[in-house]
């Protein structure tokens, strides 16, 4: 999860997020090189008193500064499109979970099971135990198995919400009357935090998302206990 004074992204916990981090670094280096070149040209133009008559009117340099930006845009666009299509791929999910946004909590329904669903409310500050995070902990976590394709069906019951978990590279709007879907694979066990990312009213800041990725055996034990309690 994020920590104070953090400058970069959270550590990736899914293959898609790893791709997004690599693309971010790739684009940042291109921006850094362009900025350095532009700064050098500005300083050179301001400090030098010499004038090169071939630069003032030159077909060759006009061709260069027309083609070079086009090549740079292609170098950015191709990997960007690749990741865009990767994020839309949903191949043979092992588990489907329906997430419904409400004012101001989430409810989860494991559609592969007959009766497995629960509401997930934020734990109030006064009820937190040592080691828990303020405004991020919930009374029920969304538990998923690691290294398994998970499909999330996302909708809302009242107003616009957005289901977002940065470390998994997932962000999808929850729209009333519309069912959106996205997918992720948790590449390692852990607890991953997110929040509603669409302003949805007075308590928008108080509907966190907690995804707990566990080994398959632990997930089966958890689901059995939840079904027994239901």
pLDDT band at 73 (very low <50, low <70, confident <90, very high): very high
**Alpha-carbon distance 175 to 78, whole Å?**
30
Task: Report if residue 1 sits inside a domain.
Answer: no
- Examine the fold and report which residue of 88, 116, 137 is the final residue of a domain before the chain moves on: 88
**DSSP output for 35-69:** HHHHHHHHHHHHH-----HHHHS-HHHHHHHHHHH
Query: Mean pLDDT across the stretch 42-51?
Result: 85
Residues 12-44 have pLDDT tens digits of 999 999 999 999 999 999 999 999 999 998 998
pTM of the model: 0.86
User: What pairs with residue 97 in β-bridges?
Assistant: 110, 152
Contact (CB, 8 A) for 207 and 174: no
Contact (CB, 8 A) for 116 and 109: yes
Report percent pLDDT > 90 for the chain. 78
**Alpha-carbon distance 60 to 14, whole Å?**
46
Task: Report if residue 55 sits inside a domain.
Answer: yes
User: Which pLDDT belongs to residue 198?
Assistant: 92
Task: Report if residue 204 sits inside a domain.
Answer: yes
Order of strands across the sheet that contains 170-174: 142-145, 208-214, 190-196, 161-165, 170-174
Q: Are residues 123 and 204 in the same domain?
A: yes
Q: Are residues 177 and 82 in the same domain?
A: no
**Statement: residue 230 has pLDDT above 70:** no
Task: Report if residue 182 sits inside a domain.
Answer: yes
Average pLDDT in the chain: 92
Long-range CB pairs of 73-78 (<8 Å, 24+ gap) are 75/30, 76/26, 76/27, 76/30
How many C-beta atoms surround the C-beta of residue 133 within 10 A?
A: 13
Q: Are residues 127 and 54 in the same domain?
A: no
Spatial CA neighbour of 184 closest among 80, 82, 85, 87: 87
CA dihedral 12, 14, 16, 20 (to 10 degrees): 0
**Statement: residue 110 has pLDDT above 90:** yes
**Statement: residue 191 has pLDDT above 80:** yes
**Statement: residue 56 has pLDDT above 90:** no
Helix H, strand E, coil C: the string for 97-160 is EEEEEECCEEEEEECCCCCCEEEECECCHHHCCCCCCCCCCECCCEEEECCCEEEEEEEECCCC
- Phi/psi at 214 (nearest 5 deg)? -135, 160
**Statement: residue 77 has pLDDT above 70:** yes
Residues 149-183 have pLDDT tens digits of 999 999 999 999 999 999 999 999 999 999 999 99
Range of the domain at 57: 15-88
């Amino acid at each position: 999860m994020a920590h104070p004074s953090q400058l970069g992204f959270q550590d990736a916990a899914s293959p898609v997020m790893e791709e997004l981090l690599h693309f971010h670094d790739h684009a940042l280096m291109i921006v850094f090189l362009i900025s350095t070149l532009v700064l050098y040209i500005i300083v050179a133009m301001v400090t030098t008193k010499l004038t090169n008559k071939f630069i003032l009117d030159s077909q060759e340099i006009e061709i260069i500064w027309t083609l070079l930006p086009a090549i740079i845009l292609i170098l950015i666009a191709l990997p960007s499109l690749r990741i865009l299509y990767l994020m839309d791929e949903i191949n043979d999910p092992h588990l489907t979970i329906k997430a419904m946004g409400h004012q101001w909590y989430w409810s989860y329904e494991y559609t592969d099971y007959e009766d497995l669903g629960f509401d997930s409310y934020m734990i109030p500050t006064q009820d937190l135990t040592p080691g828990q995070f303020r405004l991020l902990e919930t009374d029920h976590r969304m538990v998923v198995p690691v290294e398994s394709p998970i499909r999330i069906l996302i909708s809302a019951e009242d107003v616009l919400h957005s289901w977002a978990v940065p470390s998994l590279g997932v962000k999808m709007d929850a729209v009333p009357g519309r069912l959106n879907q996205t997918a992720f694979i948790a590449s390692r066990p852990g607890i991953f935090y997110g929040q509603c990312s669409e302003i949805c009213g007075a308590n928008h800041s108080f509907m966190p998302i907690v995804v707990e990725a566990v080994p398959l055996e632990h997930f089966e034990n958890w689901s059995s206990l939840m079904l027994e309690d239901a």
